[in-house]
Structure 1
Amino acid sequence: MAFEVRFPVVGESVQEGQVYKWRKKTGEFVKRDEVLVEVETDKATVEIVAEAEGTLTVQKNEGETIAVGELLASIDTSAKAPAAAAPAAPAAAPKAAAPAVPPPPAPKAAPGGDSRPQSPAVARMAAEHQVDTAAIAGSGRGGRVTKDDMVAHLESPKPAAPAAAAAPKAPAPLPAAPSGARTERREKMSRLRQRIAERLVEAQHTAAMLTTFNEVDMSGVMELRKRYKDPFKEVHGVGLGFMSFFVKAAVQALKQFPAINGYVDGTDIVYHDYYDIGVAVSTERGLMVPVVRDVDKLSFAQIEGAIADYAKKGREGKISLDDLTGGTFTISNGGTFGSLLSTPILNPPQSAILGMHKIEERPVVVNGQIVIRPMMYLAMSYDHRIVDGKEAVGFLVKIKENIEDPARLLLGV
Structure 2
Amino acid sequence: MSFASTGLCPALLDAVEQRGYAAPTGIQATAIPAILRGGDVLGQAQTGSGKTAAFVLPVLQQLLATHRATPRQLRALIVVPTRELAAQVGETVRGFAQSLEVPVKTVTVFGGVSINPQMMALRGGADIVVATPGRLLDLVDHNALRLAGIATLVLDEADRLFDLGFADELQRLLALLPPRRQNLFFSATFPPAVEALANGVLRQPARLKAEPMPPAQQPAIVQRAIAVDPGRRTQLLRHLIEQGNVRQALVFAGSRYTTELVAHKLSKAGLAAAPLHGELSQGARTDALAAFKAGGLRVLVATDLAARGLHIAGLPLVVNYDLPRAAVDYVHRIGRTGRAGQEGMAISFVSAATEAHFRLIEKRQQLRVAREQIAGFEPTEAAVADTTPPLADATGGVKGRRKSKKDKLREAAAQGGG
What TM-score does the superposition give when structure 1 sets the normalisation length? 0.28
Larger radius of gyration between Structure 1 and Structure 2: 1
> Which of the pair is proportionally richer in helix?
2
> Which of the pair is proportionally richer in strand?
1
What TM-score does the superposition give when structure 2 sets the normalisation length? 0.28
Q: Larger relative contact order (C-alpha < 8 A, sep ≥ 6)?
A: 2
